[in-house]
């Protein structure tokens, strides 16, 4: 059975959520879920008309950011229910839509806030236990402060380590959620926190992302964010 999920930049992580629901309902015993994205002139020009592309390396959460870089790629995960020797466990997930705008995120980050709250609630994990957040962090003037507000609403002064990995991959749009899920799993397996590549100037409207250190970080609980056009978070 094949199921295609199309929710813009949250497509791949939604495919993982749908896969989890299929396992929980007994509809399947094993699922391959993820996403892929290939660049095209149509794809590039669509984003160009929104005036959110950066001709330099993107700089998520940086005060000098002007937009995103488009990337292409693919990642898939194999999901099984209660597999004791799995590489990671999906404790919970959230999907919310703030229906604020066709492409923009709301100033108060409502959709992102609700999605993260739902993920925490469904997992039974307290927010104080979160070790790391892989942010959606596109590097656009709109997304980064909106996501930052949502994070601050939940974590306040007890912010976990946060970074966007899109400085390395570009924004792989429909594939981004699964690619970043795999990055999170690798980080957990190898006790490291991905740095926020491209960051160098603090923006008071944004969170201060992780810039790197020489330590090993025990990674037990992580959040991976993916936000799509139309407010699907």
Q: Which residues are catalytic?
A: 9, 136, 171
CA–CA separation, 120 and 127 (whole Å): 7
Q: Strand 132-134 to strand 222-224: parallel, antiparallel, or no bridges (unpaired)?
A: parallel
Residue pair 14/115 in contact (Cβ under 8 Å)? The answer is no
CA–CA separation, 111 and 105 (whole Å): 8
In the numeric block, the tokens 């020009």 are attached to 45
- Return phi, psi of residue 7, to 5°: -130, 45
Residue pair 89/16 in contact (Cβ under 8 Å)? The answer is no
Residue pair 231/105 in contact (Cβ under 8 Å)? The answer is yes
Q: Tell me which H or E stretch contains 37.
A: strand 30-37
Query: What contacts 87, CB < 8 A, 6 or more positions away?
Result: 185, 189
In angstroms, how far is CA 128 from the centroid of its own chain?
19
Q: Strand 73-80 to strand 132-134: parallel, antiparallel, or no bridges (unpaired)?
A: unpaired
């Amino acid at each position: 059975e094949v199921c295609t999920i199309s929710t813009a930049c949250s497509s791949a992580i939604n495919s993982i959520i749908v896969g989890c629901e299929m396992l929980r309902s007994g509809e399947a015993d094993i699922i391959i879920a993820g996403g892929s994205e290939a660049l095209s002139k149509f794809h590039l020009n669509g984003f160009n008309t929104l005036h959110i592309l950066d001709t330099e390396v993107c700089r998520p959460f940086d005060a000098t950011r002007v937009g995103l870089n488009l990337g292409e790629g693919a990642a898939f995960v194999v999901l099984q229910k209660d597999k004791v020797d799995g590489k990671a466990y999906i404790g919970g997930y959230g999907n919310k839509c703030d229906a604020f705008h066709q492409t923009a995120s709301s100033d108060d980050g409502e959709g992102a806030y609700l999605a993260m709250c739902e993920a925490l609630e469904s997992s039974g994990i307290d927010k104080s236990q979160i070790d790391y957040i892989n942010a959606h962090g596109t590097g656009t003037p709109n997304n980064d402060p909106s996501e930052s507000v949502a994070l601050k609403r939940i974590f306040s002064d007890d912010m976990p380590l946060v970074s966007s990995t899109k400085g390395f991959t570009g924004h792989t749009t429909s594939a981004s959620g699964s690619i970043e899920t795999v990055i999170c799993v690798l980080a957990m397996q190898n006790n490291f926190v991905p740095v926020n590549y491209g960051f160098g100037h603090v923006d008071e409207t944004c969170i201060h992302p992780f810039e790197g250190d020489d330590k090993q970080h025990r990674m037990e609980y992580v959040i991976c964010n993916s936000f799509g056009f139309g407010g699907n978070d």
